[in-house]
Structure 1
Amino acid sequence: MYTESWNPSSLGSKTSRNFTETDAGPSSEDIFKYPTQRYNGPSRSHVTHLGTNSEDNIQGSNLNSTSPNYSSRTAQENYVCQNMVGCGSQNHHIPQNVPTVTPKSFHTRSFELVSQENISETSFAKFPTTQALPMDVVQEKEEQSSLETCMAESSDTHLPIPINLVEPHILRKITNEAKAEFIKILPSLSTITSQNFGGFLVGLLKKYSHHMSLDEFYNLLYHKKPPALQYTKQEVSPNETPESFYLKLKEGCLFHLIIKGFQNPENATGRGTTSSTRIWKPSVNIYEFSRTFLAIKILFSSLAKVDEPYSSRSAVARLSIYKLYYIICQKLLSKHPDSNSSASENFTLCQAQIGKLAKLVYPNIVTKRLGSRGQSKYHYIGFVLKTDLLDNDTLGLLDLKFPDLKYHFRVSNNKLRPRYKTVQCRKPHGTEDKSGFPRVPNQYSGFKSSAPKKPLQSYVEVTYTYPKMDFLPRISTAIPNTIPRHSGWAAEKMKRSIIALKAYNMDLCPFVEEFTQGFCNKYQDFLSNTLLQAMLNLQGYSASNVAYMHLYLVFLLLVFPMVLASDEEVPVVDKIQLRSSIKQCVDMLDAHSSNMNIDIIGISIFKRLLRKMIHLNELTSCNVKSPYSGQVIKEMVRDLESEANCGLQDLGGRSAYEETILQSVIISMNGYNFTLDDGISPSTSNQSIHIVTQVMTTIFNLALKATDDIRMIPENATRRGLDHVPQDVAYQVFKISSETLHMLLSSDPMSKLPIPVITFIMLHLTNSMQYASFHEFQKRDPELSKETFKTWWVFSTMFQEYISIISEVFGLSETLSH
């Protein structure tokens, strides 16, 4: 070890102090200090000047001669202090990890961190040394300078330790020990990736985190400015020993350095570090780092191994562990509402992530299903929940089902929020529709409802309408073993965005050409690498959000035709590669987007659309069993015709399908407060009914046309020379329905309806048809009923995903056009 030198000249004192290897270390009175009594260091008879190496500095001194007001202590306090410094008994001493200080050379060293009262007046440069330092000491000083810079990030330059209970020399020892540990850890940080950082954190907590409570650990992770943890005499636990308190402060200081390193790696790796640590750029953002760190700490604190691993009581349900983790997180959020995590919607990890972390924490953990047949659950064998976390409230919450548990905390958190008084508007006279027909919104004098607002994460404005033109993303003609070409509309939109991106020295034309000519021949990360390079290029130019939107539109339109391709056009193996590539794009965005200065909402929409494309492409390969292809088509046609021809007297002569369309139109128009009036509000309810009926008739007629086209699928297969009906029945129905949809959107009066209204109508209709298919369920062969129901579900899901994607893509293109 080295010799410490403390020169408080900058603090207004003329004394200086050295410690040698015989220094007894911190005593209990040094650490736990009464506010009215302050330890001022050794007496003047033991003070030497900087640069000396006298054997008589402080050797042999004890607390009886150096501490003021010793006579005022109680006998019990004197006994504790003597034992802690080794004066009373050799069996009671500071543990080995509370170091003694030994001289490294005749040279002295000075440190930046001093007492809290004068820390703002002190700097590293104000501590002079009397002699030149050797090169090894200089290099070590430079290595620690970057750490001191990292420690000074917070505005008050506090360390997360209770400075008002720790003397300056004890504080310096804690700080320097933590710095030394951090220097040892620093080279390994350069190897951390998003795949292995969980194992790194587990090893870190296994070695160090034994004294910090969950509350203290949470505060260290999530406070905007890491708290000083300034305990008062009353806040320190009566069971807290000086040894454990000392180690707790050391752990807090070390973790504070690591957290600051992940927040600002350039300050954690400075001029004095090695080449391996200088290039450290963590691929894990601080948000993911913090919530994973907390989850691992909770797992360490909540699970305990048992001596008899195969006894009946030595198993804990995997779901119970996740419930306990969720409960602890929610209680921490409620207890510390001013922390950064309270603003995050995804503060907790999912159950699968907790399961992976549990295997990292306990690598040899055994999982087994226990319970009666049909109600068995996965259990961890040889583990139990620690009882110190299971109070009566927690035990009661563990008995709840997880949805009820989430509801409980949602209600509890809402009660903590400030309440605002709502003012209800009186309903104006004359708004009732005496005809008995559901109300259609009108404009009323003297009363105006609040304007509708678009969803928080959507490119679709409530005023956007579809154009009177074909805007299919791909051409309708299918060529076997050929990627579908882009439609004229999609090609034009891509061209405009590519031209806009050229302003940032970016040419995506070669990339688009390579993809369309043969994506399957490219390596799997072709898409993700190109997307990442493009985003980094825009980041380097400090591009606006509009530039990123152009990039999103190019990528969405580029992959859309292949996403919509059939197995005949793009083989299943190539589709799997496409989905894997898109998934890599999503993972890349999750890993890097938080480190980029980009619009969070925009990239969230982009990632959501990519996930929907993955799901939609997967559904295009769903097949029915070969003997049932033709029969499933007949049953689906029968379901549609049954709804279209089923007329009841109480429906006024309308069929069940017409009534379903009518309800969806009225509900959506009322919900979005939309009036279809060509600029002039209808003067009577009869005119409103006429317009709504016109919309209903348009949808109904095109639905009948689509039904006829579906009926022709077997005949069309025969014309193409096939001896069987295609097994991808759901895809064939989806292709016909999507083409019919675009015909519907370009017709009057549908082209005047806002996009959100049309989206709701289509979603409502597909859900209703799934319900209607149950009417004939018991009349069919069981296997045929199963295949028919599966096909209806796959088709409805594909259609709904397509509606969601095409509306957002069109909304994005419209936003860029404006």
Structure 2
Amino acid sequence: MSDRSSKPHRSHKRQKSSLTNIGYYFPDQTSTQQPSHPQFQQFVQQRQQQQQQQQQQQHHHQQTHQPHQRHNRQLSQSSQLSPHQYQLTSIPSQSSQPSQQSQPSFYDYDPYNTLNYSLNSTTAPSSSTGTGHNIIQGVPVKPIPSPTRGQFGPAPFLSYQSPTQYSIPGSVDQNFGTIPLIPLPSEQYNSDTPNVYEQFTYPKPVTEFNDLPQSDINTSVQAKRPAKHNKNLSVSTRFNLFNLNENEDQSERETATKPTSINPLFNDFLQDLAIVDGSNINNYLLKVLEKLGSPLPIDDFYNFLYNNEKQASATPAIPTHKIDKTMINFSVQSSAFSLLDQLLNIFKVPNLLIEYFPNIANRENKLFGINYHELLRTFLAIKILFDILIQLPSNNDPQNYTIPRLSIYKTYYIICQKLIRQYPSPTNTSSEQQKLILGQSKLGKLLKLVYPDLLIKRLGSRGDSKYNYLGVIWNQNIIDDEIKKLCDDNELVHLHRIFDTKDKPFSFQRRRNHSTTSYNPIPGHKIKLKTRSKSEPQIQLKGPHTESYSNENIRTPSFSFIKPHLKFPESDNFTILEENNDNPNWFTIIKQNTYEWFKNCNSTFPMREAIGMVFFNNDNLVEKNFLCDGLIEKVVKPLNSDLGYAENFDLHLYLIIIVELLPYLLFLKTSSRVNYLKNLRLNLLYLIDNFNDELNNIGANNNFKIDNSRKFLILMKKLININDLLITFIKLINKDDASNSSVMVLDIENYLNLTDEDQSDNGIDEDSESKLSFKHDILSKDLIYALNAYNFDPTLDHHSRSILSPDFIKDEVDLIGNFFGTDLLNFLNNEDLGEKYEQITSRESNDETDSILSKKEGTKLVSLLALIHDKLLTKHFKTKYPILVYTNIMSLILNDSLKYIFIKYQKQQNNQRKDENQNSFGNWWVFNSFIQEYSCLMGEVVGLYDSI
């Protein structure tokens, strides 16, 4: 015999489905309808006699009370129910079919409450059955309309209407964000608008028929509420969640999950639950939230999922410290959480689904394939997205209401961190709770699910445009000024650091610095100054020496192999050139190591021969698709079938291809002929456009990861760009050497190599924009800008100081300036910087017409590469700066130098003081582009090798 008093959340409304299919939930009804118990037969006879007396009294009452005839007729009609509606399967030995004259009430109806209802004797006439208690069953059920977005909770029910005439009183705007105002109940039974919450009473327990003490019956619902699912004491596996208290609460779960009847809304959820699997679980969770419609604050929803003991209290006061300050009705909220708890119990113990759908036992129960931990954090993410945004009607211009796409994720991240810190878990640590936060890609998919019609568009000026969602605004009940400020003033990496602070979860340490400027820490972008107030967070280079800056603000660019703190190899052989002493360079060594790795993995596959046949045989490059087809057939397919078990074998393949192609596209191989390079470039361009599609066609995406292939193809495109820039620059600087001095040399001597004292005597335009101190206005400022952008202090690795002294800046500026004023000048003056390297000009005389570069141009090319590896990438810079920091420093310096050269020549052209043939802007543009592209490519190769 089940005790319903300990499970008040189970509802009689399960009978709605049993009306149409009596054996659907209770297969064996015949055994419970006619008990053979003598005591029960005596009880039935007494009950029939009492019903006859009651009919006579009611007949007499109808004749003597004519004013109430109409009202009683309405109740009588609403209670003409089928005998099947009165069956209680949980108490077969003490229930029988009631008389059709019993009069249940339709007033106390809560679509979310899974409790059985009864009426107080002060609010409804008693239907005496000899026991002194009312057992209301078969209450007429109204269909629940699908709630619309913005309608919080059900409207109060008025007088009874037919299901076909049902409508929610009031408009959506009237009900949005407010507690329904329900009139006070009348003391008269025939009140037209009863208060469903005031008239609500908890059901009388079934054990009351056994004359239990009244003190045991009138136990509070809070004490009788069944234990919730223990979310904290759990272990998540790829199959499902296993409860650590499995042996302790097994008997309790068996009784707590067998409802005596079904709430109609819960019945709808059950019907949909039968077809839920891993592919549509997100749609199901969204549907549950939409059908509930009740304003469940995010704080209470989070505590319901992860902290049962902190679930919303019964007090109507709304704490000001809550994140979600939406007005709620606590009675409706409690009913909604009770319904959700039944659903989560089924997900946690999928076998419970068989109790509702016996036929499902004969086939696979797909709920076993749903990870419970993943379900909880996805449910929370959908709830947050569902509540923080308000999508405006179509009649409003969406362009006037925009929210950046990244701001939505940052806001979600901030809310999750606040929930974790404001409601700490008693069993899980803060680091374990961080796992409930989804990544950007998955949250983006959920955002499309919750708001499928949301418009998105790039807004902003060229180079600074960002994706924005149109036609949405923040929900002011949740997104307050503090959250907006955190979102607007901090990048995502800064938010990680802010919430990683242990002692101050909602504040961050402000560094003591008088500067009020901050720089945008995005690698490769133009540094922009933005004024901050002193109360806002500042990211400054200066600060206490105990803080480490080199490990915080450097982040990997999109589609890049370079890790945040990766540095160039310190060895002297880090060069693409081969030395005359036959010592292999760094690229040759890693190529040999990679081939050796493939040999150890699969000695039967001739990797070196396959690569040579695909890439370096001109006969196999006649058509533009030959290289792509050959790579798929001769390399990818064999590796996919033979080395599927090996980790990162796709990265090994990409590294070999890039290192093998480098000497050819840099014109270092003697076989770099015009026809071969032309065919190779056409085939590589086709490979860039079609390689990912070919991988998808052969089903190799599992082993050849799409992210890795995208990065690889970007490097291939960078290789082609470097090939174009290199040949263009070599041809340009060799064209203008009549006076043994190019126009670039004149720029260095007369412009870039000036000192502050020399400016007044060089005849340069007196305009302030033309006056330039190269070391101060370009080198010093750009160095400081870059270090501030990355919040990087290179002195922390070797010294205890943390404030960059003027001496340190001066030393670094002198070294960088020496490259421009001495090394680059020597290169342009035709000094051979590559004497120690093997030359590429040892060709036969009859091949001279077919080669791309002349002997002199080949020497210049080797000298240019030696300039980069020996003079620009010196050991001093390689050991001190990460790749991302150093390449960005050089990019800033080169771009600013080009800007000043452009300004100078523009003014001279306006004054007609410069010959058109001596315009060096084009030469500088090609040189700057090549240096930046080549140094980035070297860094990507180092990053790719580091990844494997």
TM (norm. structure 2) is 0.46
Aligned partner of 1:794 in structure 2 is 929
Relative to 1, partners in 2 of residues 1:464 and 1:790: Cα closer, same or farther, differing over 3 Å? closer
1:496 maps to what in 2? 593
How far does the alpha carbon of each residue in 1:670-698 deviate from its partner, in whole angstroms, 9 at most, with x for none? 9356889xxxxxxxxx9xx9999899868
Cα deviation for residue 390 of structure 1 reads 1.4
- Find the partner of 2:258 among 169, 178, 194: 169
Partner of 2:659: 560
SS of residue paired to 2:940:
helix
| 2:862 maps to 1:770 | no
Moved more, 334-343 or 402-411: 402-411
1:185 aligns with 2:276: yes
Question: Could you give the per-residue CA deviations for residues 691-731 of structure 1, whole angstroms, max 9, x where no partner exists?
Answer: 9989986886543343346999xxx9xx97699999xx9x9
Give the corresponding residue for 2:687: 577
Confirm or deny: 8 A CA contact 1:460 1:755 kept in the other structure.
no
How much does 1:171 deviate?
9.4
Which residue of 2 is the match for residue 616 of structure 1? 718
Amino acid at match of 2:340: K
Relative to structure 1, the CA distance from residue 473 to residue 344 in structure 2 (aligned partners, 3 Å threshold; closer, same or farther) is farther
Unaligned runs of 5+ in 1: 1-5, 9-16, 26-43, 98-113, 121-146, 259-269, 425-447, 477-485, 540-547, 597-602, 677-685, 814-818
Instruction: Give secondary structure in 2 for the equivalent of 1:153.
Output: strand
Aligned position for 2:210: none
TM-fit CA distance, 1:537: 1.3
Secondary structure of the structure 1 residue equivalent to 2:571? coil
Aligned position for 1:805: 940
Whether 1:349 and 2:440 are equivalent positions in the alignment is yes
Aligned twin of 1:327? 411
2:794 corresponds in structure 1 to: 671
SS of the counterpart of 1:774?
Answer: helix
8 Å CA contact 2:640, 2:703 repeated in 1:
no
Counterpart of 2:629, as a letter, is K
Inter-CA distance 536–460: structure 2 relative to 1 (3 Å threshold): same
Aligned: 1:391 with 2:477: yes
Aligned residue in 1 for 2:869: 742
The answer for the alignment partner of 2:140 in structure 1 is 90
Contact 1:773 1:789 (C-alpha < 8 Å) held by counterparts: yes
Q: Counterparts of 1:257 and 1:798 in 2: how far apart (Å)? A: 57
Q: CA deviation at 1:798?
A: 0.8
**3-state SS in 2 of match to 1:777:** helix
Q: Provide the C-alpha distance between the structure 2 equivalents of 1:639 and 1:530, rounded to a whole number of angstroms.
A: 55
**2: CA distance, partners of 1:231 / 1:202:** 26
> Residue 498 of structure 1 contacts residue 508 of structure 1 at CA under 8 Å; is this kept in 2?
no
CA contact (8 A) 1:463 1:754 kept: yes
What is the CA–CA distance in structure 2 between the aligned matches of 1:404 and 1:56, rounded to whole Å?
67
Structure 2 portions without partners, runs of 5+:
4-9, 19-36, 42-88, 105-114, 127-131, 148-223, 231-235, 317-327, 351-359, 425-429, 512-544, 557-561, 616-626, 667-676, 737-741, 760-771, 800-806, 834-840, 842-846, 911-915
- Are 2:292 and 1:211 equivalent residues in the alignment? yes
Deviations 1:498-538 (A, max 9, x none): 445655x4349534543343252337878887887787514
2:305–2:376: 8 Å Cα contact kept in structure 1? no
Superposed CA deviations along residues 620-640 of structure 1, whole A, max 9, x for unmatched, are 377799999959996655544
Measured on the aligned residues, the alpha-carbon RMSD in Å equals 7.7
Tell me: CA distance 1:592–1:493, structure 2 relative to 1, closer, same or farther (3 Å).
same
Match of 2:523 in 1: none
Question: 1:205 Cα shift?
Answer: 1.9
Distance 1:358 1:695, change over 3 A: closer
Counterpart of 2:276, as a letter, is: I
Quick one: distance in 2 between partners of 1:53 and 1:334? 45
Deviations 1:254-276 (A, max 9, x none): 67689xxxxxxxxxxx99755x9
For residues 721 and 490 of structure 1, do their structure 2 counterparts lie closer, same or farther at Cα, with a shift above 3 Å needed?
A: same
Residues 1:739 and 1:326: Cα distance change in structure 2 (over 3 Å) = same
Cross-structure match for 2:244: 155
Deviations 1:626-674 (A, max 9, x none): 99995999665554455664355599xxx97789889999999993568
What amino acid is aligned across from residue 558 of structure 1 in structure 2? Answer: I
**C-alpha contact (below 8 Å) 2:602/2:642 kept by paired residues:** yes
Partner of 2:602: 506
- Asked if the contact 1:630/1:725 (under 8 Å) is kept, the reply is no
1:362 shift after superposition: 5.0
Offset, 1:402: 3.9
Number of equivalent positions = 624
Deviation at 1:334, TM superposition (A): 1.3
Task: Name the structure 2 match of 1:317.
Answer: 401
Summarize deviations over 1:235-256 as a string: whole Å, max 9, x none. Answer: 9942516764454335545676
SS, match of residue 336 in structure 1: helix
Distance (Å, rounded) in 1 between the aligned partners of 2:781 and 2:406: 43
CA distance in 1, matches of 2:819, 2:462: 53
Say if 1:471 and 1:742, in contact at 8 Å, map to a contact too.
yes
One of 530, 537, 545 as aligned partner of 2:645:
537
1:102-125 Cα deviation digits (max 9, x unpaired): xxxxxxxxxxxx9967999xxxxx
Gap change, CA 1:221 and 1:184, over 3 Å in 2: farther
* Structure exhibiting the larger radius of gyration computed from Cα positions: 2
Contact preservation (8 Å) 1:473, 1:561: no
Q: Is residue 2:240 matched to residue 1:240?
A: no
CA contact 1:315–1:379 (8 Å) conserved in 2? no
Name the SS of the counterpart of 1:319 in structure 2.
Answer: strand
Secondary structure, aligned partner of 1:472: coil
Aligned to 1:518: 614
Q: 3-state DSSP class of the match of 1:170?
A: coil
Per the alignment, do residues 708 and 674 of structure 1 end up closer, same or farther by CA in structure 2, a change over 3 Å counting?
farther
CA distance change for structure 1 residues 670 and 233 in 2, over 3 Å: closer, same or farther? closer
C-alpha separation in 2, matches of 1:305 and 1:242: 27
Instruction: State the SS of the aligned residue for 1:514.
Output: helix
Task: Provide the C-alpha distance between the structure 1 equivalents of 2:391 and 2:563, rounded to a whole number of angstroms.
Answer: 52
One-letter code aligned to 1:559: I
Tell me the secondary structure at the aligned position of residue 576 of structure 2.
coil
User: Mean Cα displacement is larger for which, 230-239 or 771-780?
Assistant: 230-239
Give CA-to-partner distance per residue, 1:385-409, whole Å, 9 cap, x none. Answer: 47xx213963686599845586996
Per-residue CA deviation, residues 256-314 of structure 1 (Å, 9 max, x unaligned), is 689xxxxxxxxxxx99755x979x999x9998x9887766554544555666x2x4466
Q: CA deviation at 1:801?
A: 0.9
Matched with 2:879 is 755
Structure 2 residue matching 1:571: 3-state secondary structure: helix
3-state DSSP class of the match of 2:895?
Answer: helix
Question: CA separation of 1:24/1:574 partners in 2, compared to 1, >3 Å: closer, same or farther?
Answer: closer
| Counterpart for residue 265 of structure 1 | none
- Give, in angstroms, the shift of residue 220 of structure 1: 8.3
User: Partner amino acid for 2:413?
Assistant: C
What CA deviation, in whole Å up to 9, does each residue of 1:746-788 have, x standing for no partner?
9xxx558753459566654453232122222132469989866
> Separation in 2 of the partners of 1:475 and 1:580?
38
CA distance in 1, matches of 2:237, 2:487: 49
Question: Which of 509-518 and 561-570 deviates more?
Answer: 561-570
Q: Distance in 2 between matches of 1:622 and 1:290?
A: 53
Structural mapping, 1:15-34, within 5 Å: none
Q: 1:646 and 1:273, CA in 2 relative to 1: closer, same or farther beyond 3 A? A: farther
2:457 and 2:632 mapped to 1: Cα distance? 37
Rounded to whole Å, the distance in 1 between the matches of 2:794 and 2:237 is 59
Give the letter for the 2:868 counterpart: L
Is the 2:725–2:930 contact (alpha carbons within 8 Å) kept by the matching residues of 1? no
User: Does the aligned pair in 1 maintain the 2:304–2:311 contact within 8 Å?
Assistant: no
Work out whether residues 24 and 85 of structure 1, in 8 Å CA contact, stay in contact via their aligned partners in 2: no
Partner Cα separation in structure 1 for residue 391 and residue 882 of structure 2: 57
What is residue 828 of structure 2 aligned with on the other side?
707
- After TM superposition, give the deviation of residue 184 of structure 1 in Å: 1.4
Alignment partner of 1:185: what SS? coil
